[in-house]
Structure 1
Amino acid sequence: MRTMELRHVGRSGLRVSRLGLGTMTWSRDTDPHEASELLRDFVDAGGTLLDTSASYADGGAEELVGALLGDVVPREDVVLCTKAGVRRTEAGGVVDASRGNLLSTLDASLRRLGTDHVDVWLVQSPDPRTPLEETVHALRLAVSTGRARYVGLSNHPGWQVARAATLLDHEVGLGAVQAEYSLLQRGIEREVAPAATALGAGLLAWSPLGRGVLTGKYRRTIPADSRAASPHLAGFVQPYLTRGSAAVVEAVVTAAEGLERSPLEVALAWVRDRPGISSSIVGARTAAQLRGSLAAEDLVLPVEIRRALDEVSAPALGYPERF
């Protein structure tokens, strides 16, 4: 058994493993047997942060998580994070961060997960039709009623992170900010990451492998068993199959060859050790994919390689970030 490093989530007392396990594919592409092996291997390696959402497989991922907790691993061995704010309709998913929808979704999540509380509860997406004050009130109620221990935002811009933290004040606090972050997506460095750090919220990085593109598996073709070949996930990967992304991928591959490691390990280590990152969440679909991520635990990138990767993937900054 390996012991994974635990990190505080921002300035809160909550600690999570620096590698998190995402469940977006659970009950759809990852069956119960594979999910059971994933969860057992993850916890055996010292992992604690288990990330899911009410919107994943229309609640199917949460149901599968709930079926495995207590059976495969004890509930107390994981830090359970789920999200709300995307309501399913006949026309598809609709962003709805109203107080009523958020709290009813949380109650449904708790039933599916088979628990009376989640450790971290996040609003999954900004809702331009609902005042942020109303959304934040739902977060406050979740904590005050014991249904969530810590709350936060996912995929929100920097000004909303700052405003939510102000509204929640020190009594509840904005515990976590979850956002996409990788060598192919460094947008949070402009405002979200500085805001979260200044306000004491921990950053939970989703898709640290650039939606799988940074593993290098799309360099020559699209594998038949990959997300890019999947009818429901192809659109998720497509934005990073560009010429600009390819240059970053080649730099990662070159670094990996020099270190005698895999591109996956290099890309994951880069995100994991960035300032403010509490945990990097990998959406491993199989136990074999998870083992690849766990292999990065002992990798510390040399300063020269980190600097080269920083330069080749640098986001465009201008006014007012640079004045």
Structure 2
Amino acid sequence: MEHRHLGRSGLRISEIVFGNLLYPHDSTPDETVLSCLRAALDSGITTFDTADIYGLGRSERLLGRALAGEPRDGVVICTKVFFPTGTGPNGAGLSRKHVREAIDASLRRLGTDYVDLYTAHRYDPHTPLEETVTAFADLVRAGKVLYMGVSEWTAGQIREAAALAAELRVQLVYNMPQYSALWRAPETEVVPACEPLGISQVPYFTLAQGVLTGKYAPGTPPPPESRAGTGLVGGRADFMRRMLADGVLERVRRLEPLAKEAGLTMAQLALAWLLRRPNVAGAVVGASRAAQVRENAAASGAPLDDALAARVDDILAPVAVYSDAA
């Protein structure tokens, strides 16, 4: 497993980041989740991403159990705050009150004194940005958080937050956007805003919810055990409907000979392509089986030359999304 510096900081994260995502009321057995986490550790993954909203706290608790026997200095833990996890009108958002209470609850569930990375899961239009950044800065000074990040913020919001963070002497060093060979919207405005500020991308949905693994065939219903096969709900429904269009799936199928030529699986090809992109520090990948974790981890350092990467671009260009408004 190879490692890269996160933004303009001294912290290094693993190129493959294990995303311990559980949807609310997810019925995945604890032992299945723990087996994936153990496989990640065995594969050399050192960076683990979760959020207080994932599984309504269950994801953090299981991650805490999996890492309990690991040296704390050997792993990087990232969690997030924004979505409703408390009661009453202050149980969500990025107010000082919610941020402070949310981090304490996350630390209890994770069984640790601090998190390496704390992410503002979305932008909060109802809280002054100065209040939010100051709250994060206070957590850094209290030793509960080491570095600050954001997820799915606009280029303008990131610039403003970075300026405030610099004034407060805290490091805003990463952004977590949806980003893959099929969803390239961050390249239009967000990446150009982040690069000069020393802010890395740590993308999620890096396999386009499984579409880039080749498991969905054009003209064929999704496998019943797949994410798409279990029903499209919530914010990912529109995205999945778009990605499952026959025109998209036919283009993805054309990547199979390229993956074979490179000696990679389809998933490894997609991850290797993403890890070549400027400004990407690590790729977040989840899994429902330990074998998937090991396959994904092997994408770190995978050989992918310029010519082959350009062929991936050419094949997917007609169906890739380059703007959130598209």
Q: Tell me the TM-score normalized by structure 1.
A: 0.89
Out of 270, 274, 293, the residue aligned to residue 273 of structure 2 is 270
Out of 64, 72, 75, the residue aligned to residue 72 of structure 2 is 75
* 1:222-237 alignment runs, 5 A limit: 222-231=222-231, 235=237, 237=240
CA distance in 2, matches of 1:86, 1:182: 24
1:79 is displaced (CA, Å) by 0.2
* 1:1-323 alignment runs, 5 A limit: 4-25=1-22, 28-71=26-69, 73-88=70-85, 96-169=93-166, 171-219=169-217, 220-231=220-231, 235=237, 237-314=240-317
Q: RMSD of the TM alignment (CA)?
A: 2.4
1:85 is displaced (CA, Å) by 0.5
Q: Which moved more, 1:287-296 or 1:264-273?
A: 287-296
Q: Which moved more, 1:227-236 or 1:79-88?
A: 227-236
Segments of 5+ residues of structure 1 without an aligned counterpart are 319-323
Letter in 2 for 1:305: L
Letter in 2 for 1:296: A
1:144 is displaced (CA, Å) by 1.3
Letter in 2 for 1:249: V
Say if 1:7 and 1:303 are closer, same or farther in 2 by CA, change over 3 A.
same
Percent identity, aligned pairs only, is 37
Say if 1:306 and 1:140 are closer, same or farther in 2 by CA, change over 3 A.
same
Letter in 2 for 1:183: A
Q: Which one has more relative contact order, counting CA pairs under 8 Å at least 6 apart? A: 2
SS in 2 for 1:176: strand
Q: How many aligned residue pairs are there?
A: 312
SS in 2 for 1:277: coil
What do the CA deviations read for 1:139-173 (whole angstroms, capped 9, x no partner)? 11111111100011011111111111000006212
Say if 1:162 and 1:114 are closer, same or farther in 2 by CA, change over 3 A.
same
Letter in 1 for 2:308: I
1:29 is displaced (CA, Å) by 4.6
1:244 is displaced (CA, Å) by 4.6
Letter in 1 for 2:97: G
CA distance in 2, matches of 1:287, 1:84: 28
- Structure (1 or 2) with the greater strand fraction: 1
What do the CA deviations read for 1:239-267 (whole angstroms, capped 9, x no partner)? 42124532441232232233343211111
SS in 2 for 1:126: coil
Segments of 5+ residues of structure 2 without an aligned counterpart are none
CA distance in 2, matches of 1:79, 1:85: 21
What do the CA deviations read for 1:55-106 (whole angstroms, capped 9, x no partner)? 10111101111222224x3333210000000114799xx9622222122111
